[in-house]
Structure 1
Amino acid sequence: MTVYIPLSENPRGIKIYAVQWPLTFLSMVFLGLRLYTKVLRRRQFWWDDYFIIAAWIFLLLSCCTTSINVRHGFGLHDADVPPENLGVFGIISNISGFASVLSVTLSKTSFALTLLRLVTDRWMKWLIYGLVALISVTHYISAIFFWVSCNPPAKTYKWDLPGECWPATFTISFSIFVGSCSAFSDFVLALLPWRILLRYNMYNREKLGVAAAMSVGILAGITCIVKLTTVPVLKQGDFSYNSLPLVLWGFIEPACTIIAASIPMMRHLFKRCNRTSQVNDDDSSTHSIEPQVYTRNDRYRPGVDPEPKA
């Protein structure tokens, strides 16, 4: 029977709650506004919408499973985790990491699919297809490794079973390779909108705004680089205590990607709100109780515009 650890005895667990749940809620808000914008414009959902919805579902799964593991002792030293919790602890850790990697993959694929709808050059389409293939192959393999990196496979979550696992140096090297591919894809996908939008027939100010919004994905690339710096903790042992930065940054990356992929879709919602506020301002100015009549002498009165506009 498992033993639940009070949060008061697990301060690092409180830090996990303080990071993951607000980010999960914030990404849900941005995703909801993205979908609401499409409904408002009476546009049908496309593949990029379904991919990012799936990405958020896996993000939520990762958040929930990590939160459950905090109650089982995640954040404490391995020696302080109750032995009766180790079986559940291991399998929940695998589910959390598996869901986090899938969330990264699906969110980046969603943004790439969005760009495909704007691209006209063949070479750019092939570049995006190549990035999607690179992200998918590396991350799906990484997700599978959570379940097959030991012999027997059950040892991946039952650490007390006899058997062997892959060397930590291989796991670290492959994780850094996957993270590097992810960061490279983020930066390329964030810079492509500038190339695409420069040829569109739009005001320069609007072009810059849309391109900047679509380049927020650079933030996801930066979080991925920060996550890479935490990967070497895997060879330090004491997984429950030392892996906290890796788990947090592995969660922050897909959350930021979902937010970054949702912002460009909200452009029409912002424009609609702006137009509505302008109309309300015009209505309030034209429905005054008593119209003002300006004369030549009014320009010398305090508080009256000297040259009222027609």
Structure 2
Amino acid sequence: MGYTQGEMIALGFIFVVLPTIFVGLRIWARFIRRAGLGADDYTILVGWAFTLSVCTVHLIAAIHGELGQHQAIYPNGEPILDDPRFIIYEKCKFSLHMLSVLGLGFTKVSVILLYRRIFRMPIFQRICLGYIVVIVAWTIAFFFACLFQCTPVTPFVEGFYGNKCTNVLVLYNTVSGTDVALDVLIIILPIQPVLSIKMSLRQRLAVLGMFLLGLLAVASSIARLVSFVQCDTVLIEHYNDETYYTSGVFVWTVVELVMAVISACLPTLRPLFMRSKKNATPDYPEYPRQYGSSYGSGKSGRRSGYMLSVDTRQDDFDMPAMASQDAPGVQIQIQRSSFDDRQEPTDGVIHVQHSTTWSDQDFPAQPKQSV
């Protein structure tokens, strides 16, 4: 359950680097698609900033405090409460809990905003708004609950200080338990919309797999909850060695934040792995073929289309915005040929014909009107 000082410092630096890499890749993916930042990008940047602040607190506690080390005690075994390094540890622990709540809150909101950008069904959009309200309320409530653990406000929350404080172990367990519940609800949120989309089973599983990468964050939040529960029992016996036996709480709190940021960024990195299409039409977004975006060949004259919601932006690069079966939509059909209407050679120039049909159904049976 304990760690050495060197391990805690090394982990702190790793935790700084990992989320920074993935946030940088996310911004790069936006740049190469020539798309501006959206609300989900801005919120993940704030979440990343709080993650770095938590990592900084972790490093300060390990370098200048007693995190990962045995606590200084008197010859009779009682803890030295006024030891400068222990005081730094106490202040860092107090800051860690508040900053982690803010970081998790912004990261969760970023994921929901990403869902709203991808899935345009009206009912799903309203559900997402409800999720955002709950997450914001959770963030505000537990931030102030951690801030006002004691009256007056103080980082010295342990009982041997004699301050008037709430039961902090119950508070931390509640924060961690509700955090796990929110993560699970966020993970299952896109399952029904994905299953309702007109794609093959393999394609649906691929999309679900991308969103289920968030299970990494869920696993980390569960591990954090377990570390809190273990501290409840261990600290009863080792009350005079808190800095050593709470090392796991520090580690898993930072790991959860790091994994939450990484999981929020992973679904947006697809453009970095897409192969450039030699014959892509510049007038339309280059959506991946497995999401239903395909082009007919000039030889066969075959046509196929993909669904976009009417308010889809061209910076929705992660995947096509997915509309429900009863939502208004545009069906775009593209046919490529190597000859124009006069059947004359075009010297390698590709002419694109497209037809657009407006209807209230995803794939209307109306005759298509050529443009």
Please report the TM-score for the alignment, with normalisation by the length of structure 2.
0.63
Deviations for 1:139-192, whole angstroms, at most 9, x for unmatched residues?
Answer: 33322233311122135479986532112xxx3333333323322222232233
2: CA distance, partners of 1:114 / 1:224: 21
2: CA distance, partners of 1:220 / 1:150: 30
Indicate conservation of the 8 Å contact 1:59/1:255, yes or no: yes
Q: Within the alignment, does 1:196 sit opposite 2:205 as a pair?
A: no
Q: What's the offset of the Cα at 1:256?
A: 0.7
SS in 2 for 1:79: coil
Q: What's the offset of the Cα at 1:226?
A: 1.5
1: CA distance, partners of 2:127 / 2:174: 20
Please report the RMSD computed on the Cα atoms of aligned residues, expressed in angstroms. 2.8
Structure 1: tracts of 5 or more residues without a match:
1-9, 277-310
Distance 1:155 1:53, change over 3 A: closer
Match for 2:67 among 63, 69, 74?
74
Corresponding residue for 1:15? 7
Corresponding residue for 1:245? 248
Indicate conservation of the 8 Å contact 2:116/2:125, yes or no: yes
Distance 1:49 1:174, change over 3 A: same
Distance 1:91 1:159, change over 3 A: farther
Equivalences for 1:116-131 in 2 at 5 Å? 116-131=116-131
Q: Which range is displaced more, 174-183 or 66-75?
A: 174-183
2: CA distance, partners of 1:225 / 1:217: 13
Corresponding residue for 2:369? none
Corresponding residue for 1:225? 222
Distance 1:30 1:203, change over 3 A: farther
Indicate conservation of the 8 Å contact 2:5/2:68, yes or no: yes
Corresponding residue for 1:47? 39
Corresponding residue for 1:271? 274
1: CA distance, partners of 2:107 / 2:54: 14
Q: Which range is displaced more, 174-183 or 242-251?
A: 174-183
Indicate conservation of the 8 Å contact 2:89/2:243, yes or no: no
Indicate conservation of the 8 Å contact 1:176/1:231, yes or no: yes
Equivalent pairs: percent with the same residue? 22
Corresponding residue for 1:144? 144
2: CA distance, partners of 1:137 / 1:108: 12
2: CA distance, partners of 1:77 / 1:27: 30
2: CA distance, partners of 1:25 / 1:172: 31
2: CA distance, partners of 1:234 / 1:61: 26
- Give the aligned residue type for 1:229: V
Structure with greater strand share of residues = 2
2: CA distance, partners of 1:205 / 1:271: 18
2: CA distance, partners of 1:56 / 1:250: 14
Corresponding residue for 1:215? 212
1: CA distance, partners of 2:132 / 2:154: 31
Distance 1:20 1:85, change over 3 A: closer
Q: What's the offset of the Cα at 1:269?
A: 1.6
Q: Which range is displaced more, 129-138 or 38-47?
A: 129-138
Indicate conservation of the 8 Å contact 2:66/2:86, yes or no: no
Match for 2:170 among 169, 173, 176?
173
Indicate conservation of the 8 Å contact 1:220/1:256, yes or no: yes
Q: What's the offset of the Cα at 1:202?
A: 5.6
Q: What's the offset of the Cα at 1:206?
A: 4.5
Equivalences for 1:105-124 in 2 at 5 Å? 105-124=105-124
Distance 1:181 1:146, change over 3 A: closer
Deviations for 1:250-271, whole angstroms, at most 9, x for unmatched residues?
Answer: 1111111111111110112211
1: CA distance, partners of 2:244 / 2:12: 17
Corresponding residue for 1:259? 262
1: CA distance, partners of 2:14 / 2:42: 23
Equivalences for 1:19-34 in 2 at 5 Å? 19-34=11-26
Q: What's the offset of the Cα at 1:43?
A: 0.9
Indicate conservation of the 8 Å contact 1:100/1:254, yes or no: yes
Q: What's the offset of the Cα at 1:124?
A: 2.7
Indicate conservation of the 8 Å contact 1:110/1:261, yes or no: yes
Q: Within the alignment, does 1:163 sit opposite 2:163 as a pair?
A: yes
- Give the aligned residue type for 1:272: R
